[in-house]
């Protein structure tokens, strides 16, 4: 992975024993980047080595907006492949999506999603 970034959010797609793909939201200064990685191997010390296979263009986020992912629903159906930008609320469920994408590991892309029906658990509420 590139040096000089700070991870803000990261999670595996699929069950941990099959976790060959992951989503990570990182910051480089004021810019945020979302990338999808594929697990290449674990070295002799057990460290995972990843290859970035897709990324959304870097973007600064408006004040009060954050990325959420790994705990999102699309019309009440859990979809960990979704990553979205939300206006932060003091509610358990974030429902005011600004933009949303669905990771597709087989195509190695992020596909834009319509915002209707997208919500994510507000993990920042308890942190």
Q: What is the per-residue pLDDT across 107-122, written as a single tens digit (0 to 9) for each?
A: 999 999 999 999 998 8
- Tokens 């999670």, residue located: 11
Q: What is the per-residue pLDDT across 40-58, written as a single tens digit (0 to 9) for each?
A: 999 999 998 999 999 999 8
d(CA 19, CA 14): 6
Judged against a pLDDT cut of 80, whether residue 1 lies above it is answered with no
How long is the chain? 127
Look at residue 18 in the predicted model and tell me its pLDDT.
63
Name which of 57, 55, 62 is nearest 96 in CA terms: 62
d(CA 9, CA 85): 12
d(CA 93, CA 121): 5
d(CA 72, CA 47): 28
14: left (phi over 0), alpha (psi -120 to 50) or beta: left
Question: Residue 6 — pLDDT band, cuts 50, 70, 90?
Answer: confident
Judge contact between 26 and 49, C-beta under 8 A.
no
Q: 4 to each of 52, 69, 121, how far by Cα in Å?
A: 15, 22, 29
**Percent over 70 (pLDDT), the chain:** 91
Q: What is the mean pLDDT of the chain?
A: 87
Look at residue 63 in the predicted model and tell me its pLDDT.
87
d(CA 33, CA 17): 26
């Amino acid at each position: 992975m590139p040096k000089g970034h700070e991870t803000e959010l990261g999670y595996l797609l699929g069950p941990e024993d099959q976790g060959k793909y992951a989503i990570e939201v990182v910051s480089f200064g004021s810019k945020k980047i979302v990338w999808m990685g594929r697990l290449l191997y674990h070295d002799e010390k057990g460290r995972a080595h990843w290859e970035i296979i897709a990324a959304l263009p870097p973007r600064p986020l408006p004040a009060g907006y954050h990325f959420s992912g790994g705990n999102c629903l699309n019309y009440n159906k859990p979809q960990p492949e979704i990553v979205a930008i939300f206006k932060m609320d003091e509610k358990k469920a974030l429902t005011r999506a600004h933009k949303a994408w669905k990771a597709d590991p087989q195509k190695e892309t992020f596909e834009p999603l319509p915002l209707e029906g997208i919500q994510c658990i507000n993990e920042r509420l308890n942190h």
